[in-house]
């Protein structure tokens, strides 16, 4: 086996942080488990399912927002940063969850959404009260363009398009000014240029850490710094094809003060903090701020920027969530999907493995609450290959260098939902896209076909615990319909099956915990131009693992492609291999070199 060369990436120090060998599990509370029969998942439900997480072996639970919210964007529009929405339970239940997780040796990471608040947050209500409000400058208020009256077409302060369709500017008729919202109109952006805003956010974060929370996943955190002209104005973006609006991303993605803000956040919130979990240091460390975890969700971040954000010497964040690989199967917009080329995926993953090899760290994920189901998107959810492709995808991801994230239900091979019509969707992004497409005269059937493939609602159907009518999720009517395939694909059916998707995830997580080469080994991409076989090595201290994954329905001649694999020891596989010289459809093998 040839090692070294330009595609071999060296490992970090052996004294690596605990999270290098950890696995994170994302809970989307609304769809995880309902404990009170109202059809909406809650904290009580999470407490009921902790045995599942313990059995799986994960180290960290990332909890999507449970704060008070009008739920315009399913909780990512927060009206109180220091409360719990009664929809999800009580503050006492969250304290119970923190204690229960710590007792089991797991950490809790909360979702931190501080690029924007809800328009019902007291800060915004005060800001909106008058132009002279003490909190007016806590948000981005701007007058109409010069020469135009408020409400006139084109009077918005910039031409930026929002992520959820339409302009980013909403007119407040009472004051005659516009406020900025990169997302929904009920999600006004906070003005991080104002030090009072930053101080209030840092105080809130310290409050949660004092309560026992172990860190934060920071929602769109690279958007908090806007590029402001000396006169206080914001810049127009280049026009979008076929639209009166423009792309303002150059003014808010990784803006001019983003590193300053994150370094200040670290100093004010995390520096010197640390606490053991359950009386011990999970992963062997509880010293200083290393015991905490900070993850920055950063759309549009480049590998060069990610090196800066995750360089420990700069003290910003531990790892970033990047979006490059989940943008490879569409053309500019997620609503224009195209086939994924395997060599493009290899190039993307390989570039990130290389860039963060000596400095920084990777987050590894296939899907989350904002992405369709991985087995339907990147795998093959047909009855014949669903189990095999789900376990193949898992093997590929978890054997890379970085911290893997498991999104709820992914460990069961949950798939996209067969939406019959627009009335079955709930996501604001999907509903807005459909409405806009209808105004534009697009074919409803074609729009629905794309929604079925790419809508965020695919990830939000309830977790499939058993084969009962509501999949064991609720005794009431679920807020979003349960996938009809739950009668076959559920946790109860897989729990005792050694060949199940769930069992394979257990083995993958245990392998990372037990074998340092999985967490810290260097990475060498093999067969970069092959369109169906994804292969690489991981090496550390004289041990080398060869990972080979057949990402297709076609049998592959392993003996020809990688002769060194034939005599290697099988460490972990997703299929019973009848012929060591041939890779079956969607077969994955982790091999130790002879």
563: left (phi over 0), alpha (psi -120 to 50) or beta: alpha
Annotation says 287 is catalytic: no
Please answer whether residues 251 and 279 qualify as being in contact, where contact means their C-beta atoms are separated by less than 8 angstroms. no
298: left (phi over 0), alpha (psi -120 to 50) or beta: beta
| DSSP tag of 366 | S
Cα separation, 552 vs 585, in Å, equals 6
Three-state SS at 412: helix
Cα separation, 19 vs 212, in Å, equals 18
Please answer whether residues 535 and 346 qualify as being in contact, where contact means their C-beta atoms are separated by less than 8 angstroms. no
Please answer whether residues 431 and 422 qualify as being in contact, where contact means their C-beta atoms are separated by less than 8 angstroms. yes
Cα separation, 56 vs 58, in Å, equals 6
Please compute, for residue 460, the number of CA atoms within 13 A of its CA located in the half-sphere on the CB side: 24
Tokens of 455: 């809508």
119, 156, 219, 318: the active-site residue: 219
297, 329, 367, 410: the active-site residue: 297
Measured from the Cβ of residue 420, the count of other Cβ atoms closer than 10 Å reads: 10
Residue with token string 């971040």: 301
| DSSP tag of 362 | B
* C-alpha radius of gyration, the chain, whole number: 24
Annotation says 410 is catalytic: no
Three-state SS at 217: strand
Tokens of 329: 């199967």
| DSSP tag of 184 | -
The span from the first CA to the last CA of the chain, in angstroms, equals 9
Catalytic residues: 219, 297
């Amino acid at each position: 086996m040839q090692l070294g060369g330009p595609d071999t990436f060296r490992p970090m120090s052996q004294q690596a942080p605990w999270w290098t060998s950890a696995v994170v599990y994302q809970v989307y509370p609304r769809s995880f488990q309902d404990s009170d029969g109202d059809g909406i998942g809650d904290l009580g439900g999470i407490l009921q399912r902790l045995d599942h997480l313990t059995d799986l072996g994960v180290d960290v639970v990332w909890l999507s927002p449970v704060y008070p919210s009008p739920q315009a964007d399913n909780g990512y529009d927060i009206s109180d940063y220091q409360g719990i929405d009664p929809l999800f339970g009580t503050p006492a239940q969250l304290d119970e969850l923190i204690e229960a997780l710590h007792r089991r040796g797991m950490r809790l990471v909360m979702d931190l959404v501080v690029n924007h608040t809800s328009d019902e947050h007291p800060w915004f209500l005060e800001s909106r009260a008058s132009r002279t409000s003490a909190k007016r400058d806590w948000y981005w208020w701007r007058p109409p363009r010069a020469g135009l009256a408020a409400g006139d077409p084109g009077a918005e302060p910039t031409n930026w398009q929002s992520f959820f369709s339409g302009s980013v500017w909403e007119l407040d008729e009472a004051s005659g000014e516009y406020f900025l919202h990169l997302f929904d109109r009920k999600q006004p952006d906070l003005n991080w240029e104002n030090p009072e805003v930053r101080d209030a956010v840092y105080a809130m974060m310290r409050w949660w850490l004092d309560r026992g929370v172990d860190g934060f996943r920071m929602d769109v955190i690279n958007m908090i710094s806007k590029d402001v002209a000396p006169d206080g104005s914001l810049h127009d973006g280049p026009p979008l094809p076929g639209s009166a609006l423009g792309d303002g991303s150059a003014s808010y993605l990784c803006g001019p003060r983003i590193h300053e803000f994150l370094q200040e956040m670290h100093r004010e919130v995390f520096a010197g903090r640390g606490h053991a979990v359950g009386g011990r240091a999970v992963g062997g460390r509880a010293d200083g701020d290393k015991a905490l975890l900070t993850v920055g969700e950063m759309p549009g971040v480049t590998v060069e920027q990610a090196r800066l954000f995750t360089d420990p010497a700069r003290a910003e964040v531990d790892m970033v969530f990047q979006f490059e690989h989940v943008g490879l199967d569409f053309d500019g917009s997620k609503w224009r999907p195209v086939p994924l080329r395997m060599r493009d995926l290899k190039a993307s993953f390989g570039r990130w493995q290389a860039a963060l090899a000596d400095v920084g760290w990777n987050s590894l994920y296939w899907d989350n609450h904002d992405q369709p189901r991985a087995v339907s998107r990147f795998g093959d959810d047909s009855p014949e290959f669903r189990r095999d492709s789900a376990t193949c995808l898992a093997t590929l991801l978890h054997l890379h260098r970085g911290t893997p994230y498991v999104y709820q239900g992914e460990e069961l091979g949950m798939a996209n939902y067969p939406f019959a019509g627009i009335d079955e969707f709930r996501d604001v992004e999907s509903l807005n896209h459909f409405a806009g497409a209808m105004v534009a005269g697009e074919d409803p059937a074609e729009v629905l076909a794309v929604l079925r493939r790419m809508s965020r609602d695919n990830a939000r159907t309830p977790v499939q615990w058993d084969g009962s009518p509501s999949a064991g999720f609720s005794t009431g009517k679920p807020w979003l319909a349960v996938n009809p395939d739950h009668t076959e694909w559920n946790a109860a059916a897989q729990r005792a099956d050694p060949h199940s998707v769930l069992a394979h995830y257990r083995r993958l997580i245990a392998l990372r915990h037990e074998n340092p080469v999985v967490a810290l080994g260097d990475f060498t991409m093999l067969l970069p131009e092959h369109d169906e076989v994804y292969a690489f090595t991981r090496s550390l201290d004289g041990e080398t693992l060869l990972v080979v994954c057949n990402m297709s329905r076609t049998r592959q001649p392993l003996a020809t492609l990688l002769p060194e694999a034939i005599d290697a020891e099988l460490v972990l596989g997703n299929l019973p291999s009848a012929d060591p010289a041939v890779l079956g459809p969607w077969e994955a093998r982790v091999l130790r070199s002879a």
